[in-house]
Amino acid sequence: MMYSLKGCLVVLLLLMTLTARAEGSLLITQAGSDVPLDQAVIEIMLSGQKTYTRVQDDYQIVQRRARFDPLVTVIPAGASVTFPNQDTTRHQVFSFSPPRVFSLDLYLRETPPPVSFERPGVEVLGCNIHDSMQAFIVISEAPFFAMTDRSGRIDLDSLPPGRYPMRIWHPRLDDTHQQWWQGEVDTRLDNHVSLTLDATPVSPAEPSLLQRRFQRGLEHQEHP
With CA atoms as reference, report the closest residue to 91 among 114, 70, 112, 71.
Answer: 112
DSSP 3: -
What percentage of the chain carries pLDDT values higher than 90? 68
pTM summary value: 0.81
Left (φ > 0), alpha (ψ -120 to 50) or beta: where does 102 sit?
beta
- Helix residue ranges, H only, 36-184: none
**Whether the domain at 24-49+145-201 and the domain at 54-141 fall into the same CATH topology:** yes
pLDDT value for 209: 52
- Residue 221 phi/psi, 5-degree rounding, is -65, -40
Q: Taking residues 49-57, report their average pLDDT.
A: 81
Q: Which of 159, 208, 172 is nearest to 44 (CA)?
A: 159
pLDDT band for 224, please (50, 70, 90 cuts): low
Q: At residue 18, does pLDDT exceed 50?
A: no
Cα–Cα distance measured from residue 8 to residue 31, given in angstroms and rounded to the nearest whole number = 50
Q: Where are the domains of the chain?
A: 24-49+145-201, 54-141
List, for residues 108-159, the tens digit of each pLDDT value.
988 999 999 999 999 999 999 998 999 999 999 999 999 999 999 999 999 9
Residue, of 9 and 57, whose pLDDT is higher: 57
Check whether the bond before 70 is cis (ω within 30° of 0): yes
| pLDDT > 70 fraction of the chain, expressed in percent and rounded | 80
For 176-212, letters b (16+ CB in 10 Å) and e give: ebeebbeeebbbbeebebebebeeeeeeeeebeeeee
DSSP symbols for 109-159? SS-PPPEE--S-EEEEEEESS-TT-EEEEEEE-SSEEEE--TTSEEE-TTS
54-141 maps to which CATH number? 2.60.40.420
215: nearest Cα among 63, 64, 100: 64
Is the pLDDT reported for residue 8 higher than 50?
A: no
What's at 39, amino acid-wise? Q
CATH class of 24-49+145-201: mainly beta
pLDDT at residue 23 in the model: 79
Distance CA 219, CA 175 (A): 36
pLDDT band at 75 (very low <50, low <70, confident <90, very high): very high
First to last CA, the chain: 70
